[in-house]
Amino acid sequence: MNQSVADAENRALFFEHWFKGLPEETACRLTAGAATGDTFLDSWRRFKPFTLSEAEERIITLKDVNGTDALVTLYDMLTSAFTFHLKLQGKRKTLTQDQIASYVRDPSPEMRARPIERYIASTPIRVQYWRRSTDHRVRDWHSEMTSLRHFVEPISARNTMNDLLPTLSQHTAPCMPQQYARFPALLPAQGKWFKMDRLRRYDIYAPLASSEKRYELPQAIDMVLDSFGGFFAGACGTRAPGAR
């Protein structure tokens, strides 16, 4: 499937290059009637200064499928096969990596701590896979993004993809991410709610209150869409009636 998608991307690549090559006035005129303030085509044009020739872009697309993307897939296959044995609530359980991660949202502090601590204790077993895959991933990213595309820094490519910098500059106080991540000052209000002097890493996602409510899928979908509708209204000025 990945190979098929890569082939389809390469067949359609000519259009992306054509659109990026348009004068700014022409490109803005063509996207002026879009329903949102920013379009997929606009995101293409952010990459105009960092785009290589069409032939080079084709090679990179094929390279990723059988290179770093394949390496990430292999890493996921290896780590998903790991199992962890521990005793919870008097029962001996064998958990996968994803099952352990789900405990970070458990209402019980002990149930949040023990599985995650067991997972952390197994790090030496996994570090050889993590180190090698990460090393090659980082080298590939640096070679492509800084050496070939000439981004100022490797992180600049990610920021350009996500279009984060303007939004963060407008809505984030200086050093807020660092303050958020600093322990034990992290989320002091949440610490008081839990009656804990120091929050642990796996307390961040703990529920503030227990709830036994259950929702049918259609109702849950409506709740999520209504909640995120506010984000779209803030970003685009208005929300389309009945938007999904």
Give the start-to-end residue ranges of the domains of the chain. Answer: 216-244
Closest to 17 measured CA to CA, from 65, 64, 50, 60: 50
Q: Are 78 and 130 in contact (CB under 8 A)?
A: no
End-to-end CA distance of the chain: 28
CA pair distance 145, 154, nearest whole angstrom = 6
**Is residue 113 a contact partner of residue 163, using CB atoms and an 8 Å limit?**
no
Question: Once rounded to an integer, what is the mean pLDDT over residues 27-52?
Answer: 80
Q: What does the pLDDT look like over 138-148, one tens digit per residue?
A: 899 999 999 99
- 158-189 pLDDT, tens digit per residue, is 888 877 666 666 665 555 555 554 544 445 55
Q: What are the tokens at 145? A: 């993004």
